[in-house]
Amino acid sequence: MQADTYIPRRLDDAWKIGFWNVDVAAPVLFFFFVGYLSGSKLSFAACMASGIFLSRWIARLKADRHPAFAVHWLYWHLPANPVTAMRATPPSHIRRMVG
């Protein structure tokens, strides 16, 4: 009964695309798609450059912060809709809470 048992050490890791987190890789993939749809090599290069720039900016913004910093930032700065609204927390436009 001496079997090597694999014990996972990181159950709550962020989703990844290759080596990159989803929130860092998403701008590059989105701008790659937009550049592909544009049909011009120059606009494709411009879209890819802006996607890489945006993903590097997001990576630097997230450095040394909570792993879910991007989700928290989106919650506080984007308007709520029925899909993203949470029932257990107050709306994001209410900044002061008493109690």
**pLDDT tens sequence across 40-88:** 999 999 999 999 999 999 888 888 888 778 778 877 777 767 766 666 6
Q: Which residues of 28-57 are buried (b: 16+ CB within 10 A; e: fewer)?
A: beebeebbeeeeeeeebeebbeebeebbee
Residue identified by tokens 């079997």 is 3
pLDDT at residue 1 above 60? no
- Domain borders along the chain are 16-77
24-44 per-position pLDDT tens digit: 898 999 999 999 999 899 999
pLDDT computed for residue 97 by the predictor: 61
pLDDT computed for residue 85 by the predictor: 65
pTM of the entire predicted model = 0.63
